[in-house]
Amino acid sequence: MAVSRDYLAFVLEQLREAGDIQSRRMFGGVGLYLGEVFFALIADDTLYLRVDEDSRPEYTARDMRPFKPYANRPLLSSRYYEVPADVLEDSSQLGAWARRALAAATRGA
């Protein structure tokens, strides 16, 4: 689950519209927080955002994959889904998706 410095810097720059995002290394990946709210993670240079029942369909409609931390447990449900490349590359759009992820994380807390 390695995360390169360059990828982390890119993601944080792209997320600047969402607020003062902080990163914390964890288990080989990186957790992303706004205040104390954990709303995203990066693993293997892939950004995953928190979803809930309201936001998950937007990801699945675009064939985005859920985060699967355990190879030996492929059916384990994840609350984090991969962000589409076009969203990641558009900071305004990514900001909107991040705000939905923050809302999902807040509701799920």
The structure tokens 């076009």 sit at: 86
- For residue 5, the model assigns a pLDDT of 93
3-state secondary structure the chain: CCCCHHHHHHHHHHCHHHCCEEEEEECCEEEEEECCEEEEEEECCEEEEECCCCCHHHHHCCCCCECCCCCCCCCCCCCEEECCHHHHCCHHHHHHHHHHHHHHHHHHC
- 20-78, pLDDT tens digit by residue? 999 999 888 999 999 999 999 999 999 999 999 999 999 999 999 999 876 666 555 57
- Report pTM: 0.91
Mean pLDDT of 77-102: 94
Residue 64 lies in domain: 5-108
> How many independent structural domains does the chain possess?
1
Domain with residue 93: its CATH number is: 3.30.1460.30
CA dist., res. 38 & res. 102, Å (int): 8
